[in-house]
């Protein structure tokens, strides 16, 4: 995967206005992996989404190839250190409700929602404690279910220390909650302005597609517009934008489902179709490494 990512370093963006794809297309393959370790409520966060069928016939997915749960290429990375001990922040051991441990990747503090939280779990060997019912799982500024407006409030109030280098991926839940496009952009711009006053380097990631919403033409239009807006925040000296979204879209303008979770780990009957899976996170890590080195940010 990493070699492939390096070869595609200068790949042109494949991010155009999309139309709903045909679930009967033979190229539309489902890939079932079990890499989720939580029971996020993001799928059901917006009332009614859990009642919308992704396919007309829920049994159709049986016809598509599923990757074996035992396949080493898709198994969950063991969140263990070299001495086989799970890494847990001291704050979790003493005060489990004070989730103030902020994970850093190659010197960059991670800010976002459950995408980067899961990235920390699966690839950075961090164990995030299970929370009580109704509480969001969190790791510093990476909080499950978090929207753009909420991260803005937490950053301005400085709930946790803010590092000098930031990687931010936020916006997925705003699409799930159907936040207005104008509000998303204005709040995102406010966050970038705040960070520019407080940090040295900022890396913004465009928002990956959500397979759960892929049957809606208006969603694709909004996603493209928002990611185009994120790209406008690029500043050669301080703000870098990595077009992450285009990596998860095929050349025939459909979602590359092999990079996403089909179901939640805690319930194989509960659809996910929102979060990246282990393969998707490995691709994210490869691209981050390439761009960090290319731009001499580490």
Which carries the bigger pLDDT value, residue 119 or residue 123?
A: 119
Residues above pLDDT 70, as percent of the chain: 60
Reported as a single tens digit per residue, the pLDDT across 243-297 is 999 999 887 778 888 999 887 765 667 788 889 999 999 999 998 999 899 988 9
Residues above pLDDT 90, as percent of the chain: 40
Region of poorest pLDDT, from 29-43, 109-123, 200-214, 219-233: 29-43
Whole-angstrom CA distances from 42 to 88, 95, 125, 242 are 25, 25, 23, 25
Instruction: Map out the domains of the chain as residue ranges.
Output: 2-6+101-256+282-294
Buried b (16+ CB within 10 A) or exposed e, 69-98: eeeeebeeeebeeeeeeeeebeebeeeeee
- Rounded average pLDDT over 88-99: 34
Cβ burial, residue 45 (10 Å; 0-12/13-18/19+):
middle
Which carries the bigger pLDDT value, residue 12 or residue 188?
A: 188
- Rounded average pLDDT over 187-208: 96
Give the per-residue pLDDT at 236.
Answer: 79
Reported as a single tens digit per residue, the pLDDT across 58-70 is 333 332 333 333 3
- Rounded average pLDDT over 229-237: 92
Reported as a single tens digit per residue, the pLDDT across 40-51 is 444 344 433 333
Q: Check: CB of residue 101 under 8 Å from CB of residue 140.
A: yes
Does domain 2-6+101-256+282-294 match CATH 3.30.70.270?
A: no
């Amino acid at each position: 995967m990493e070699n492939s990512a390096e070869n595609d370093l200068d790949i042109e963006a494949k991010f155009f206005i999309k139309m709903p794809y045909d679930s009967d297309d033979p190229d539309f393959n489902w890939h079932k992996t079990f890499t989720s370790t939580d029971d996020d409520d993001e799928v059901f966060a917006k009332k009614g989404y859990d009642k919308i069928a992704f396919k007309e016939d829920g049994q159709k997915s049986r016809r598509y190839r599923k990757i074996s749960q035992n396949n080493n290429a898709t198994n969950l990375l063991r969140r263990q250190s070299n001495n086989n001990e799970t890494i847990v922040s001291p704050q979790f051991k003493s005060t489990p409700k004070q989730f103030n441990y902020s994970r850093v990747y190659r010197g960059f503090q991670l800010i976002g929602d459950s995408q980067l939280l899961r990235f920390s779990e699966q690839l950075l060997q961090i164990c995030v404690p299970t929370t009580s019912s109704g509480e969001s799982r969190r790791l510093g500024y990476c909080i499950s279910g978090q929207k753009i407006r909420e991260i803005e409030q937490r950053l301005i109030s400085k709930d946790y220390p803010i590092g000098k280098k930031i990687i931010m991926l936020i916006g997925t839940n705003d699409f799930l909650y159907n936040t207005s496009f104008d509000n998303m952009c204005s709040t995102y711009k406010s966050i970038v302005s705040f960070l520019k006053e407080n940090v040295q380097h900022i890396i913004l990631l465009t928002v990956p597609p959500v397979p759960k919403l892929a049957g809606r033409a208006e969603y694709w239009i909004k996603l493209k517009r928002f990611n185009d807006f994120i790209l406008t925040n690029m500043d050669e000296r301080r703000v870098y934008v990595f077009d992450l979204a285009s990596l998860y879209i095929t050349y025939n303008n459909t979602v590359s489902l092999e990079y996403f979770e089909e179901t939640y780990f805690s319930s194989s009957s509960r659809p996910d179709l929102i979060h990246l899976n282990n393969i998707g996170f490995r691709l994210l890590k490869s691209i981050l490494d390439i761009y960090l080195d290319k731009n001499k940010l580490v």
